[in-house]
Amino acid sequence: MAACLATPARAAEGMRPYQGPLKCSASGMDDMWLDQRLGCLTPGSRFIVNAGGAEGETQDMAYVVNEAIYDNDFYLINNRKVRYFQSFLCVRNHPRGVRPLFLSGDLANALELSNQDRKPAGVGPTSVNISGGDRAGGVATACDPARHPLIVDYRSGKVESVNPLALQALHVYELPYN
């Protein structure tokens, strides 16, 4: 499965990840992308809420997280494309029974993407999911702050590491919405 994450998507459009300062503001549509929201997180802050309670054998898991941004009328903006952030999130001590949907919700909440009142004009719902689009959505691998912008420890339920420098090596791509 590791080979799947390393293989570029055939129909994907490559994007350059955000390289600016940490922020958590939402003054414009571009401020809503995952790679621009790391300023909302601090090591030690609570992360695992909805995905809590899973059991089973543990391992570290890195995920492709996708994001779709809609306007106030629920039409997908960004030319009807979904943006994918490969290995954006790595979960240390990840038990086998974690439900990706709940983990996606925890990520959206932590990045303050769920609150409609704090979004810029013209931006409506934001959908955050664990899915690779045309490739695997997750792979077992050691969490590494140099490669993963966000590392969470499942056992403690807290953010372990936030590293904006890891964004420089992050593979970001877009695919048409299906």
Tens of pLDDT, residues 117-153: 678 888 989 999 999 888 888 999 999 999 999 999 9
CA distance 108 to 114: 6
Residue 6 pLDDT class (50, 70, 90 cuts):
very low
How far are the Cα atoms of 77, 85, 130 from residue 13, in angstroms, in the given order?
16, 12, 19
User: H or E segment at 74?
Assistant: none
* Tokens representing residue 16 in the block: 């350059």
DSSP state of 100: H
Q: What is the pLDDT of residue 82?
A: 94
Residue 3 pLDDT class (50, 70, 90 cuts):
very low
Q: What is the pLDDT of residue 145?
A: 97
Higher pLDDT, 11 or 107: 107
CA distance 1 to 127: 25
Is residue 1 scored above 80 in pLDDT?
no
8 Å CB contact between 11 and 134: yes
State the CB neighbour count (10 A cutoff) for residue 57: 8
pLDDT tens-digit readout, 56-110:
999 999 999 999 999 999 999 988 999 999 999 999 999 999 999 999 999 999 9
Q: What is the pLDDT of residue 17?
A: 84
Residue 22 pLDDT class (50, 70, 90 cuts):
confident
Please state the rounded mean pLDDT for residues 9-26.
76
Q: Out of 8-12, 28-32, 140-144, 167-171, which region has the weakest mean confidence (pLDDT)?
A: 8-12
3-state secondary structure of 36: helix
The structural domains of the chain, with segments of one domain joined by +, span: 22-176
Q: What is the pLDDT of residue 9?
A: 42
Q: What is the pLDDT of residue 110?
A: 95
CA distance 135 to 9: 7
For 153, residues 6+ apart whose C-beta sits below 8 A from its C-beta are 91, 92, 93, 160
